[in-house]
Structure 1
Amino acid sequence: MSARDLRRWNGMSPRGRLHPSRPEPLRVRARRLPPPRERLIHIAREGDTWDLLGRRYGVFDRHLQAWNKDQIGWTLEPGERVSVWIEPMIHDAARNEGPAAGRAALIPAGAHSLGTPQSGRLVAGVQVPPGEGYERRYPNSTWGTTFAVRHLVLTLDEFRQTSGYLGTLMLGSMSFRRGGRIGPHVSHQAGRDIDIRLPVRAGFPASQPATHKHLDWDATWKLILAFARSGAVQVIFLDYAVQRELVHRARRNGVSEPQLRELFQFPAGRHANRGLVRHSPGHEGHIHVRYACGPFEPTCGD
C-alpha cells in the first residue's frame, strides 16, 4: 500500500502526517497481515545511546525516544528500563542470523527496508565501510540494509581479488542513513540501490564521468558477472548501447548464448522483460545495482 492510500482511507489531507509520540488508530486495507510488534524491556548499560539501541533492535531511534519519552530523558543512564517494540521477524533474524563471511561479518544486523526503492525509508541503516579497491564519493549517502551492504562488500572484495583490475571503483549514492529522497534520484530511498562508475582505463581521472571510450571493457564484464553471481541482485540498470558492446565482446570471447540471455536485455529490445541487466537512460558510464529484499524484511516492497 502507498502513503496516498493510507491518507485516502483515513480522510487525511494529501500532505497529512502522523506523529510517533501521539498514536492514532488507522484504517488499513492490508493484503497481508504482519505479526504484531512485541514489547521488550532493555536495561540500559554504560555507553548505550538511542542510535545504538535502534541498530541493535532494528527500529528508528526517534521511535525509541517517543515510546519512552514519559519515563526517560533524552540521554540514557545505566539501569534505566527502555521499552522497545520490535518487529518479531526482523529481531529474530538479526539475533539468529549466522556469521557472514569476510569483511561482511563486520556489518551489523538489523538494518532493513521500509517500503519501496521509490517511496521508502531505511530503518537502522548500516554504512558501506571503506575498503581496498573502491572509494565512496558521497559517504553521507552510502547507507543501506544489512542484506544489501553485506552482499555489496563481498562482491567488491571478490572483484578486487579475482578481476586483475588495478584501478579504483567509484561508489556513488546508496541511501541516506534513514532513507528518503536523495536530490534528483527517483529511487535510492530504502537502502537497496547503489550507483557504481564502470571500471575505466588507467590514467582516467577519478572525478570525471566515464564514457564508452574510457571504459575497461574486460573489467566491466567481470564486475557485472560478480554482481550476478552474488544471487542477491534484483536488477542492474545500464544503457542499452553499453549492453550491446558488452554482448558483442563476450560473444567474441566465447561466452555462451544462454548465459548472455540470462544476463542481458540486449538484443531483445530496450523495453523487453528479459535479463538481469536492463536499459535505463542516463546509465552510460555507471551501473545502478538494486538489491533484492532480504529474507527477513517483511516491510520491504517493490
Structure 2
Amino acid sequence: MTVRPCIQSLAAITAVMTLLSAPSASAATSDDRVAATVDVRPGDSLSVLAARNGVSIDDLRRWNPKKIGKDDLIRAGDTLVVMVPKGSPEAAAATGPAWTGYYDIQSGDTLSRVAAKLGVSMAELRRWNKLGKDGVIRAGRTLRYVKHGPRPPSRSVGTTTHGRLEQPVRLGEGPGYRLRFPRNTYTVPSVVTTLQRCTARMKRRFKGTADILIGDLSRPTGGRFPPHVSHQSGRDADIGYYIVGNVQNATMYRLKAHEVDYEKTWELLLCMLAEDEVVRVFMDTPIQKRMAEYLETSKRLDPKRIDRLFAAVGDIRDDALVQYAPAHDTHLHVRFACEPADRECAEDPGERPFHL
C-alpha cells in the first residue's frame, strides 16, 4: 500500500522538473526566431513592451544590453531588438528586402509625429537624415526613411502640373544613357521600363553611338519643381537630342535645328510611342519642322501622320502630339500616360495616349 503513493510522488516530481527545465516560448532558440525591432513609445515600460510582444523582461534585457539602463529605464524614441517567431508577420517585415521612402515635412510636424506616422523610430530618422540630437525639423524639407517587407506600389497622383509622387522608384544608371542630375530622376516603374528599354535598343541598333543625356523627371515626392511648370507627378522626362557627328551632349546645351541627328532622335521617340504610353512631346518649333521634313523625305511616315504628329506643320495643332514649348532646343520633353492602376492620376486637358 505504501509503494503506490511513492511511485505517484516520484512521477509528480519528475513532471514538475520536466516543466521547469523545458524552454519557455520567450526562451526559444535563435533557430526558431529572427531579430525584429520595436519602437519605445511615450509611457512605455519594459513590462508593457514585454507583454505587447509576448516575451519576458529578462529576454528584453538580454537582447538589448546597451539600450536598457539601470532600474530598467528606457527612453521614448529608442528602438529595441525583439526576437520574433519565424514565419510571423513581424518576421516577414523585419527580414524582407529594404526599400526607401520619402516624406515631405508639413507645418506643425515634429520628429516624434513623423516617426509615428511612418512607423519608424526617431533615432532612425536622425541617422538616415543626419539630424542633430535636438531632432529639429523644418516644414518643406524632405525626410528619407527605410522600411523592410513588401513595398507599397508607386503612385502618380494628380496631374503633371498639380500632382505628387508616392513611393516612387528612381531611374538609375543603364546602357545607352547618362543622367544629368541623378537626384532628380524619381518616377513610376512603367516610365523606368520604357526609358531603359528604348535607350538599350538604341545602343544595340546604332553601335558606338554616344549615350543620350536624360535630365529631370521628378523630385522624390513630386510636387513643385522650379523652374519647371510640370514634372510634378513622375510622368515627365527631359531627354537630350542625339547630335550629328555622334557628339556627346554632356550639358543639354542649346542646339540649332541642323545639329540634331533626326534618324536617331526619331528612332528613340518611335520606340517610346510603340507602347501607346506617350501623351505629349514638347520640342522647339524649328526642330519640329526639320524632323517633319526628315520623316517625309525618308518616307518614314505618310504626310497625314506627319500632320497629326507636329503642331508646327499640321492643321490640327491642338491635338498634335508634338507641341512647342520655350527652351526646348536643348532637349525634348516626353510626357507619359497614367498607369491604369493609378486611379488618382489624371491627364491634363487634351492629353491622351497617342496611337501612331
TM-score (norm 2): 0.56
Structure 2 CA distance, aligned partners of 1:208 and 1:71? Answer: 38
Q: Which residue in 2 is equivalent to 1:209? A: 253
Shift of 1:257: 1.7
Query: Does the aligned pair in 2 maintain the 1:234–1:292 contact within 8 Å?
Result: yes
Residue identity in the other structure for 1:46: A
Structure 2 CA distance, aligned partners of 1:70 and 1:198? Answer: 43
Are the structure 2 counterparts of residues 196 and 66 from structure 1 closer, same or farther at C-alpha, using a change threshold of 3 Å?
A: same
Q: Which residue in 2 is equivalent to 1:129? A: 172
Are the structure 2 counterparts of residues 76 and 145 from structure 1 closer, same or farther at C-alpha, using a change threshold of 3 Å?
A: farther
Are the structure 2 counterparts of residues 135 and 71 from structure 1 closer, same or farther at C-alpha, using a change threshold of 3 Å?
A: closer
Instruction: Give the secondary structure class of the aligned counterpart of 1:131.
Output: coil
Q: CA RMSD in A?
A: 3.4
1:187 aligns with 2:230: yes
Residue identity in the other structure for 1:52: W
Q: Which residue in 2 is equivalent to 1:157? A: 200
Runs (4+) of structure 1 moved beyond 4 Å? 60-63, 65-68, 70-73
Q: Which residue in 1 is equivalent to 2:26? A: none
Query: Does the aligned pair in 1 maintain the 2:240–2:249 contact within 8 Å?
Result: no
Are the structure 2 counterparts of residues 210 and 162 from structure 1 closer, same or farther at C-alpha, using a change threshold of 3 Å?
A: farther
Are the structure 2 counterparts of residues 297 and 218 from structure 1 closer, same or farther at C-alpha, using a change threshold of 3 Å?
A: same
Structure 2 CA distance, aligned partners of 1:221 and 1:71? Answer: 44
Q: 1:171 aligns with which of 197, 201, 214?
A: 214
Structure 2 CA distance, aligned partners of 1:66 and 1:110? Answer: 24
Query: Does the aligned pair in 1 maintain the 2:171–2:187 contact within 8 Å?
Result: yes
Structure 2 CA distance, aligned partners of 1:281 and 1:291? Answer: 20
Shift of 1:182: 1.9
Are the structure 2 counterparts of residues 272 and 263 from structure 1 closer, same or farther at C-alpha, using a change threshold of 3 Å?
A: closer
Structure 1 CA distance, aligned partners of 2:262 and 2:205? Answer: 15
Q: Which residue in 2 is equivalent to 1:251? A: 296
Query: Does the aligned pair in 1 maintain the 2:212–2:248 contact within 8 Å?
Result: no
Q: 2:342 aligns with which of 269, 272, 297?
A: 297
Query: Does the aligned pair in 2 maintain the 1:198–1:210 contact within 8 Å?
Result: no
Structure 1 CA distance, aligned partners of 2:241 and 2:118? Answer: 52
Q: Which residue in 2 is equivalent to 1:220? A: 265
Shift of 1:243: 0.9
Q: Calculate percent identity across the aligned residue pairs.
A: 26
Q: Which residue in 2 is equivalent to 1:15? A: none
Shift of 1:263: 2.6
- Count of residue pairs brought into register by the alignment: 226
Query: Does the aligned pair in 2 maintain the 1:155–1:230 contact within 8 Å?
Result: no
Instruction: Give the secondary structure class of the aligned counterpart of 1:187.
Output: coil
Q: What are structure 2's unaligned runs of at least 5 residues? A: 1-87, 107-111, 125-149, 348-356
Structure 1 CA distance, aligned partners of 2:275 and 2:118? Answer: 46
Q: Which residue in 1 is equivalent to 2:311? A: 265
Residue identity in the other structure for 2:305: Q
Q: 2:333 aligns with which of 288, 291, 297?
A: 288
Q: 2:286 aligns with which of 221, 224, 241?
A: 241
Instruction: Give the secondary structure class of the aligned counterpart of 1:52.
Output: strand
Q: Which residue in 1 is equivalent to 2:94? A: 46
Structure with more relative contact order (C-alpha pairs < 8 Å, separation 6 or more) = 1
Q: 1:277 aligns with which of 306, 322, 342?
A: 322
Shift of 1:54: 5.7
Equivalent residues in 2 for 1:16-27 (5 A)? none
Are the structure 2 counterparts of residues 241 and 203 from structure 1 closer, same or farther at C-alpha, using a change threshold of 3 Å?
A: closer
Deviation string 1:4-35 (CA, Å, 9 cap, x unpaired) is xxxxxxxxxxxxxxxxxxxxxxxxxxxxxxxx
Instruction: Give the secondary structure class of the aligned counterpart of 1:294.
Output: coil
